Amino acid sequence: MTSARGPRLEFAVGAFLLLALASLLVLAIASTNGQFGFSRGGTYELTARFSNLGQLRPNAPVKVGGVTIGRVTGIDLDPVRFDSIVSMKIEDRFNEIPADTSAAILTGGLLGESYIGLSVGGDLEVLQPGEEIAFTSPAVDLMQMVGKYMFGGGGEGADAASPAAPEAGTASPDASPSDEGVLP
């Protein structure tokens, strides 16, 4: 009886091991978007300057209208202006990006990954390899925004909720005409 159970147990362990390796392969393909570090064609580089990167990381997607057209390849700090310089590799098939395109650091969902979203302009000139995107918007810091509105930095009109006391000698707006000029 032990000889019959041995091969069955070995087969079950082997099948389980193959299933585990197959699931790791699927996970590797899903995490790299099926590219494994190889692009389908050539790429060219663009740069952009941002005052705040938020949680942007290298290898973050660069998207136009939700479609990934490239990746962030590097993040560096300008030692003179103290701006963050983001380098991006864009696929060659998207080589007609207008020169007045703007770049913003966006977040997918409330706590999702950060990515660069490009809003395409209408200029007839196109960005050349190595050029810089001139119009940028920094990342929005969610915690800073929540703190600002929770602790009284809510912007204009914050004093509108508490009406100012009327000055002495002036009648209130709801006073009858006969009460005008009568001081208490």
Confirm if 86 and 139 have CB atoms less than 8 A apart: no
Q: Tell if the pTM clears 0.75, that is, is over it.
A: no
Q: Which residues contact 89 (CB under 8 A, 6 or more apart)?
A: 39, 43, 44, 45, 70, 71, 73
Per-residue pLDDT tens, the chain, 184 aa: give them.
455 568 888 899 999 999 999 999 888 877 765 555 555 668 999 999 999 998 899 999 999 998 999 999 999 999 999 999 999 999 999 989 999 999 999 988 777 789 999 999 888 999 999 999 999 988 887 777 788 888 876 555 544 444 444 444 444 445 444 545 555 5
Amino acid (one-letter) located at 9:
L
Amino acid (one-letter) located at 137:
S
Q: Where are the domains of the chain?
A: 10-35, 43-140
Q: How far apart are CA 71 and CA 49, in angstroms?
A: 16
